[in-house]
Amino acid sequence: MTAGREHLLALAGGLADLERELGRLERWSERLGATLVGGGRLLAVGNGGSAAQAQHLTGELVGRYREDRPPLSAIALHADSSSLTAIGNDYGPDEAFARQVRAHGRPGDVLVALSTSGASTNVLAAVEAANEMELATWALTGPRSCALAALCDDAVCVDAPSVATVQECHLVAVHLLCAGVDIHVGSLAAIGSATGDLR
């Protein structure tokens, strides 16, 4: 079997795993859409490739995914390099995200934590801070039996054999989440227009 075919077979298995999570992602979309329209915020966190996907998620929400709509409040916590390096220098790398959660998070906001291993200590610390502050905490992770999934309120797990496959499936999950948010935000806007409650 060629490496390319092996990769695609692994991806097909990961996507089948993800398909079983569609209901969960739809519930997340509905909750996140209502939170953001109501003035709440999404915080997203990850390391390396997961950081890139966290920023992809927030970029789609602040900008747009498919449909034009008002901008939504979303912050990728790794993207402020000055804060990240200052916190790492003064408080240690494990606090790099947690301190930002305490700065930006409010009760009722949502934290999405991305980690292929589910064991990144700085991501876990961010979730612990979010739980203390009564944010909703959701994980996009790999193994079902990992510390991150156990610590979060809810988790979408893609238990694939390689980091690359998990990350590819997480990107699909990000797009599904954004598409769902657009649908729910559009529905809420239509309800608001009909009732005169335009925020």
Sign of CA dihedral 67, 71, 36, 174: positive
Which residues make beta-bridge pairs with 155?
Answer: 139
pLDDT digits (tens, 9 = 90+) for 154-166: 999 998 889 999 9
Q: What is the structure's pLDDT at 183?
A: 92
For residues 186 and 69, is the Cβ–Cβ distance under 8 A? yes
Q: What is the mean pLDDT of residues 75-84?
A: 97
State which amino acid sits at residue 197.
D
Given pLDDT bands bounded at 50, 70 and 90, which one contains residue 189?
A: low
Tell me what the mean pLDDT of segment 123-150 comes to: 97
Q: Kindly state the tokens that stand for 176.
A: 């599904």
Letter string b/e over residues 163-191, b meaning 16 or more CB atoms within 10 A of that residue's CB: eebbbbbbebbbbbbbbbbbbbbeebbee
pTM of the model: 0.92
Give me the numbers of helices (H) and strands (E) for the chain, helices first please.
8, 5
Contact between residue 44 and residue 58 where contact means Cβ atoms under 8 Å apart:
yes
Q: Please give the full DSSP string across 147-193, using - where no structure is assigned.
A: HHHHHSSEEEE---SSHHHHHHHHHHHHHHHHHHHHHHHHHHHHHHH
Pairing mode of beta strands 74-76, 110-115: unpaired
Q: 63 in helix, strand or coil?
A: coil
Per DSSP, helices labelled H in 80-146 are 81-91, 98-104, 121-132
